[in-house]
A and B are shown apart, each in its own frame.
Chain A
Amino acid sequence: MTPGGVPGGSGRVEPPRTMLLQALETVRDPELDEPITSLGFVASCTVSPDGKARVRLRLPTYFCAPNFAYLMVADAYDAVSAVPGVVSAEVVLEDHFASDPINGGVAAGAGFARSFDGEAAGELEQLRADFLRKAVLAGTDQVCRPLLAAGHDPAALLAMRLGEVPPSPALDRLRQRRAGLGLPAGDDDPLLLDPATGAPVGADALPLHLRRAHLTRVSIEANSGICRGMLRHRYGTPGAGQTAV
C-alpha cells in the first residue's frame, strides 16, 4: 500500500499507521511526563482501510492508579480521533482492574466522574495540573544543571531569561510544559519561577528551589525506571512505536 494511499472508491485519504503512532506520541503518562509510545504502553495500533482506528494500551501493573490510566486512555482516544481520515476510534486498556469502567467511559465520552459513579468527586484537570507543575520543576533541573556545570553562578540563573538559555530539547520541553499550565514561557520570561504561582524565584528561595527541582526530577526518573522494569517483566515485548526499551 502506498503511504498515505488513497483507497479506491470513496476518495477518502486513509491515514497510515505512522500517523496514528505520531498522534499517540503526543499522549503522555502524566506522572512520568513521557510519551506512552516510548514507555511501551501501546500494545498495538491499527487502522482499517475504511478509517477505523484500533489502539490497545497496556500498563506496568494490573493495579496502576485508575485516574492516571483514565487520562491516558482518554487522551489517546482524542489524539487518534483527530487524525485526518479516521472515522472511528476504539481505544482499549487491557489487563487492568478498572478496564471496564475506563474503556466504557472513554468510549461514551462520559468523563471520569460518571465513569466511576459515586467513587469520584470530580474530573481530573486538577490532578493533571499538579503533575504538570512537577514536570516544570523537573524540567527546570534538566535545563539548569548543564548551565551550572558550564560554570554559571547559581545566582546568575535568577536574572536569566528563557531567551538567553542555549537552545536544547530540554528547554523546548520546559517551555511547552509551562505554556500548558498557562505560565509565562516567552523569550523575555524568567528561567526560574514558582510553578504554583508563576512568581519569580527570589534569591533567598534559590537554593531550595534548585534542590527541589532536582528532587522532583530524581523522583520521576526513578518511577519511570521502575515502571519500565515492571512492564518488561509483565509483557516482555516492545510496544508499538517504542524505539528504545
Chain B
Amino acid sequence: MYQSNGEKFFVVDEHMHYWNAAPDNWVPGAEQYAKGWIECFHAYMGLGPPETHWPLEHFQKYSEEDLMKDAFEDGHVDVGIFQPTYLKEWYKEGFNTTERNARLAEKHPGKLISNTRWDPRDGDAGIEKLRRDVERFGCKGVKLYTAEWNAGSRGWKLTDPAAYRFLEETQKLGIKNVHLHKGPTIWPLDKDAFDVSDVDHAATDFTELNFIVEHSAIPRIDDFCYMATQEPNVYAGLAVVIGALMHARPKFFARVIGELLFWVGEDKMLFGSDYAIWEPKWQVEGFINWEFPDDEAFSDYPRMTTASKKKIMGLNAAKLYDIKVPDEFQLPAEAGTPGAHEILGEGSPQPTGP
C-alpha cells in the first residue's frame, strides 16, 4: 500500500523474481552464458537511481529476507507475482523455478503468487509437468520465455503447432494469464526474435486467455501497441518500462507511457518491478507521483489520472488474478480513458496479415 496526497494505492507487483545466479548454480561448460545473463541483468539495474544499485555479488544471490524486506516492508507491495525463468542449460537448478518461488510463496500466504511455465519443446513430459504444477501450486498464470535455449534450439514462437497444444492445455487447466517475454534469439535466427505477430494470432485463437506482454515488448513497443489495440485480451506489463526509463530517460519514459495510454489504455497496463533487477520502492513512489511534463509535445496523449494510476498499480492485475482488494483502495466508479479506436475513428487499425 502506498499513500500519496490522501489517496491510497493497492500495489500488485506482477513481475518479481527470486533467483539464484551465483557461480554455485552455473552449469559447468556453460559458465559464460550464466555469467553473461546475470551481468546483463545487473547492467539494467544500472539504469535505476544510483542509491538503489547493488553490488554484483548480492545481485547474483539474495535471500528470502532481502526479498520480503525490499518488496513488502520497504517497497509498498501488497501482492507480488513470481514469474519463473528456467534457463536450465545455464543454471543447474534453473534461474528461478516454479518450485523455488513456490516454496517462498507458501511461507507467505496471500502475499506471493507463484506462476509456472512451459516450453513447447518439452513435449508430453512438459504437458505432464504443467498439469502437476497447476495441481500442486494452484497456478493461475504461466510465464513463457520464447528465447530459451533447449537442446540445440534457440527459441520458439507462440504460433508453433507444439505451442498451440500447450495453449490448449493451459486453457483447459483453468489458467487465465499467459505472461510472455521475448528475448534475443528464436528459430530461425534470421527472423526478428522480438516480433510479436505470433501473440496477435494466439490472442485471437485463445480468447479465454489473457496475454500479458512483459516489458511491453521492448524493444518492439511500436509493433506491440499496434497489435494490442486490436486485441481485447492483450495487456502491457510495465516491468522494464518503468525501471529502465523513468529515472534514466524521463522524457522517453513520458512518451512511452503516453503511447501505451493511447494504444493499449489504462485498463490494460500492469505495474511490475522486475525485482531484483530493480527494487519496487522507487518505482512505486516515482510512478504514483509522476506527471506528464508540462510541454506541448505531450498534449495529445490521454491524461494520467489518479484513477489511471490506481488501476495500473494494482486494480487491473487484481482483476486478472482474482485478488481481493479492500474497499478503501477501490475506485468510486469505473472511469475509463478512450482508447485508440474511439480517437482515431475511421482510420483505426484493422487486423493485419501474418
Residues of A at the B interface (CB closer than 8 Å) are: 31, 60-67, 97, 112-113, 116, 119-124, 126-127, 130, 134, 149, 204-209, 211-212, 214-216, 218-223, 225-226, 229-230, 232-234
* Contacts A97-B32, A222-B245 given; does A61 touch B40 at CB 8 Å: yes
* Contacts A63-B183, A229-B244, A233-B43 given; does A222 touch B221 at CB 8 Å: yes
In angstroms, Cα B244 to Cα A232, docked, is 13
Assess whether B40 is in contact with A218, with CB atoms less than 8 Å apart.
Answer: no
B184 interface hit (Cβ, 8 Å): yes
Assess whether A208 is in contact with B259, with CB atoms less than 8 Å apart.
Answer: no
Residues of A within 8 A of B255 (CB): 218, 221-222
- Closest A residue to B240 using CB positions: A226
* Contacts A66-B184, A222-B255 given; does A233 touch B36 at CB 8 Å: no
Assess whether B219 is in contact with A113, with CB atoms less than 8 Å apart.
Answer: no
Residues of B within 8 A of A222 (CB): 218, 221, 245, 249, 252-253, 255-256
B206 interface hit (Cβ, 8 Å): no
Q: Nearest Cβ in chain B — how far from A147, in angstroms? A: 15
Query: Can you name 10 A-B pairs with beta carbons within 8 Å?
Result: A61-B40, A66-B184, A206-B347, A208-B344, A215-B221, A218-B255, A219-B259, A222-B249, A223-B218, A233-B47
Q: CB within 8 A of B226: which of A205, A212, A226?
A: A212
* Contacts A204-B346, A225-B252 given; does A120 touch B188 at CB 8 Å: yes
Assess whether A65 is in contact with B344, with CB atoms less than 8 Å apart.
Answer: no
Residues of A within 8 A of B46 (CB): 229-230, 232-233
Residues of B at the A interface (CB closer than 8 Å) are: 32-33, 36-37, 39-40, 43-44, 46-47, 154, 183-185, 187-194, 218-222, 225-226, 244-245, 248-249, 252-253, 255-256, 258-259, 262-263, 296, 340, 344-349
Q: Nearest Cβ in chain B — how far from A197, in angstroms? A: 13
Assess whether A218 is in contact with B252, with CB atoms less than 8 Å apart.
Answer: yes
* Contacts A123-B190, A208-B344, A226-B244 given; does A97 touch B349 at CB 8 Å: no
> Chain A contact residues: over half helix, strand or loop, or mixed?
helix
Residues of B within 8 A of A216 (CB): 222
Assess whether B39 is in contact with A113, with CB atoms less than 8 Å apart.
Answer: no
B189, B255, B347: which has the most chain A beta carbons within 10 Å? B189
Assess whether A121 is in contact with B188, with CB atoms less than 8 Å apart.
Answer: yes
Assess whether A62 is in contact with B39, with CB atoms less than 8 Å apart.
Answer: yes
Number of A-B contacts defined by CB within 8 Å? 134
Residues of A within 8 A of B258 (CB): 218
In angstroms, Cα B218 to Cα A13, docked, is 46
> Chain B contact residues: over half helix, strand or loop, or mixed?
helix
* Contacts A219-B220, A221-B255, A225-B249 given; does A65 touch B184 at CB 8 Å: yes
Q: Nearest Cβ in chain A — how far from B191, in angstroms? A: 7
Q: What would 11 more interface pairs be, CB under 8 Å, given A65-B192, A127-B190?
A: A61-B43, A67-B189, A67-B190, A120-B188, A122-B190, A205-B347, A218-B222, A218-B258, A222-B221, A222-B256, A225-B245
Assess whether B43 is in contact with A226, with CB atoms less than 8 Å apart.
Answer: no
Assess whether B245 is in contact with A223, with CB atoms less than 8 Å apart.
Answer: no
A60, A62, A126: which has the most chain B beta carbons within 10 Å? A62
Assess whether B245 is in contact with A63, with CB atoms less than 8 Å apart.
Answer: no
A60, A64, A209, A214: which has the most chain B beta carbons within 10 Å? A214
Residues of A within 8 A of B347 (CB): 204-209
Assess whether A221 is in contact with B252, with CB atoms less than 8 Å apart.
Answer: yes
Assess whether A215 is in contact with B189, with CB atoms less than 8 Å apart.
Answer: no
Residues of B within 8 A of A218 (CB): 221-222, 252, 255-256, 258-259
A119, A127, A207: which has the most chain B beta carbons within 10 Å? A119
A112, A207, A215, A218: which has the most chain B beta carbons within 10 Å? A215
Residues of B within 8 A of A211 (CB): 262, 340, 344
Residues of A within 8 A of B245 (CB): 222, 225-226
Residues of A within 8 A of B296 (CB): 149
B191, B258, B347, B348: which has the most chain A beta carbons within 10 Å? B347
Q: Nearest Cβ in chain A — how far from B274, in angstroms? A: 13
In angstroms, Cα B258 to Cα A64, docked, is 27
In angstroms, Cα B252 to Cα A122, docked, is 35
Q: Nearest Cβ in chain B — how far from A104, in angstroms? A: 15
In angstroms, Cα B255 to Cα A220, docked, is 11
In angstroms, Cα B189 to Cα A112, docked, is 9
A124, A204, A229: which has the most chain B beta carbons within 10 Å? A229
A61, A124, A219: which has the most chain B beta carbons within 10 Å? A219
Q: Nearest Cβ in chain A — how far from B224, in angstroms? A: 9
- Closest B residue to A63 using CB positions: B184
- Closest B residue to A211 using CB positions: B344
In angstroms, Cα B246 to Cα A222, docked, is 11
- Closest A residue to B35 using CB positions: A62
Assess whether B194 is in contact with A65, with CB atoms less than 8 Å apart.
Answer: yes
* Contacts A218-B259, A221-B252 given; does A127 touch B191 at CB 8 Å: yes
